[in-house]
Amino acid sequence: MRYAKISTAAGAGYVSVEQRDGVEWAVDPIASPAEDPVVPIIFEPAPLDTFTLLAPVRPSKIVCVGRNYKAHASELGNDVPAEPLLFFKPPSSLLAPEGAIELPPASISSRVDHEAELGVVLGARVRRASVEEARAAIFGCTLVGDITARDLQKKDGQWARAKGMDTFCPVGPVVVTGLDPQALTITCRVNGEVRQRGSTADMIFSVASVIAYASQVMTLLPGDLVVTGTPSGVGPLHGGDVLEIEVPEIGTLKVTVAAPPA
């Protein structure tokens, strides 16, 4: 199943998505997930890009893992972690497809980087789970940009400011069920130039093991978003840039970059 969340004159709602002659169409209204109860909308099927897309997730928390690809850890001069390195992004950082990443004033940060990542949406409550139980709790996959103020990350030591700014978590455009999260190729382009390309098979810690590890210390809820790490090639974003993150089986998440306020 593929689904998106759209906004229409009748309101916002979830819709099934299918390919028609190489174009993604919004086809039928579907029931919303329990964590985001909305009334199903009535609409005429049409190409998905004719609608305003909303973030297709509404997590209670966004759990991320850092340095989960060896080459990415090395490019930043870091050791490979012995166990998953977890951090949070607040739900207020979510950004819908086609939205604009807001660069902060230079007085706060002068270096903001892209990190293209696979996002996994949970479909069940997970607490102190085994790897097998964690794998069974995966509902679907989506695309995420872990936008990072690199200078703040280095300065602060902990990553709340660097990772948690408004608009620093683009997500979408759809959620897709039934994929193997360890068998996907993820590509990041800035202004059409490939910056990152890697395979989720190269993760140091598998998606299921990250979920199981996190669940030992916190209860993960249906709809929570797990962001699984980025391959090498991270780099800076500037006002006017167009950022695209692609996994062929999911699609392309496209956002723009807004210049910082004067």
**pLDDT at residue 10, as a whole number:** 85
Q: Answer whether residue 72 shows pLDDT above 90.
A: no
In the predicted model, what is the mean pLDDT of residues 240-259? Answer: 98
Six token digits for residue 217: 């210390």
Amino acid letter, 11: G
Q: Answer whether residue 71 shows pLDDT above 90.
A: no
**pLDDT at residue 56, as a whole number:** 98
In the predicted model, what is the mean pLDDT of residues 141-164? Answer: 97
Per-residue confidence band for 235, with pLDDT thresholds at 50, 70 and 90: very high
In the predicted model, what is the mean pLDDT of residues 108-120? Answer: 98
In the predicted model, what is the mean pLDDT of residues 231-254? Answer: 98
In the predicted model, what is the mean pLDDT of residues 38-46? Answer: 93
CATH fold for domain 62-258: Fumarylacetoacetate hydrolase; domain 2 (3.90.850)
**pLDDT at residue 80, as a whole number:** 86
Q: What is the mean pLDDT of the chain?
A: 96
Query: For the chain, where do the domains classified as CATH 3.90.850.10 start and end?
Result: 62-258
Q: Answer whether residue 262 shows pLDDT above 80.
A: no
**pLDDT at residue 241, as a whole number:** 98
**pLDDT at residue 74, as a whole number:** 81
